[in-house]
Amino acid sequence: EVQLVQSGSEVQKPGESVKISCKGSGYSFSNYWIGWVRQMPGKGLEWMGVIYPDDSDTRYNPSFQGQVTISADKSISTAYLQWTSLKASDTAMYYCARRAGTTPGLRFFDNWGQGTPVTVSS
Amino acid sequence: SYELTQPPSVSVSPGQTARITCSGDVLSKQYAIWYQQRPGQAPVSVIFKDSERPSGIPERFSGSSSGTTVTLTISGVQAEDEADYYCQSADSRGTWVFGGGTKVTVL
């Protein structure tokens, strides 16, 4: 069974850094793109970017480029999303998800993590 | 960048048919995907490649495409189908985008 298990909730102050994680199991983690999706309170889904764990090839939504860093450690089947200086506007639920496959027709997420809520408040 | 446009809400009585549209120029060239997100839960894909159903998704969910518009149809709506629904696609450069979401209310 494919599973993506995310790290727990985070409460941070503006300007602080944080790194949340997403551990995959039940499949060959290295060979499937992993993405991150933001959902601000009461709002819709936003695609942040994806990473291919085998070679760390990373693609970002231009809206998030430079604001966050996506990384992965294939040796422990874990992907990460990190901020170096949080803002209150980063308060949201963050989901990791697995891309279904590498062909163009499979540009969608077929398995999702449970979500990590991040709250940024002074 | 590109946009996908969905109606904010759709209301339907139990047993009736709900149709949700998603419009965008990219849809004439790229596949669409539909996700269901129930309150407090992570999204789940219910349609991919415009009209294919992942395993485990009930047959009452179907998808279609015409030009720059794709449609998610839920036939014989049940109370458990009350959720937010999002379309998603990707452009040729590999940038993905979600529609704004449609809240389906079962009356």
A40: Cβ contacts below 8 Å, ≥ 6 apart: A46, A91, A92, A93
**Given CB atoms, is B14 within the 8 Å cutoff of chain A?**
no
Alpha-carbon span B54 to A70, nearest angstrom: 28
The partner residue sitting opposite A44, judged by closest CB among B33, B95, B101, is B101
- Tens of pLDDT along B8-62? 999 999 999 999 999 999 999 999 999 999 999 999 999 999 999 999 999 999 9
Q: Where are the beta strands (DSSP E) in chain A?
A: 3-6, 10-12, 18-25, 34-39, 45-52, 57-60, 69-73, 78-83, 92-99, 109-112, 116-120
pLDDT digits (tens, 9 = 90+) for A8-44: 999 999 999 999 999 999 999 999 999 999 999 999 9
Residues of B in contact with A109 (CB under 8 A): 35, 43, 45
Segment A46-99, tens digit of pLDDT: 999 999 999 999 999 999 999 999 999 999 999 999 999 999 999 999 999 999
Q: Residue B24, CB half-sphere, CA atoms under 13 Å: how many? A: 25
Q: A41 — contact with chain B (CB < 8 Å)?
A: no
Q: What is the Cα–Cα distance from A60 to A103, expressed in whole angstroms?
A: 18
- Which of A61, A108, A112 has the CB atom closest to B95's CB atom? A61
Closest chain A residue to B50, measured at CA: A105
Nearest-CA residue of chain B relative to A94? Answer: B42
Residues of B with CB below 8 A from A106's CB? 48
Task: Report the pLDDT value the prediction gives residue B1, as an integer from 0 to 100.
Answer: 64
The answer to whether the beta carbons of residues A40 and A29 sit under 8 Å apart is no
Which H/E stretch holds residue B71?
strand B69-74
| Sheet with A78-83, side-by-side order of all strands | A3-6, A18-25, A78-83, A69-73
pLDDT score for A102:
87
- CB of B88 within 8 Å of a chain A CB? The answer is yes
| pLDDT for res B2 | 79
Q: In the predicted model, is pLDDT for residue A115 greater than 70? A: yes
Contacts of B96 in chain A (CB under 8 A): 35, 47, 50, 61, 107
Query: What pLDDT score was predicted for residue A29?
Result: 97
User: Is A2's Cβ below 8 Å from some Cβ in B?
Assistant: no
Other C-beta atoms within 10 Å of B79: how many?
8
B48 in contact with chain A, both atoms CB, cutoff 8 A: yes
Q: How far is the C-alpha of B12 from the C-alpha of B106, rounded, in Å?
A: 5
Q: Give me Rg for the CA atoms of chain B.
A: 13
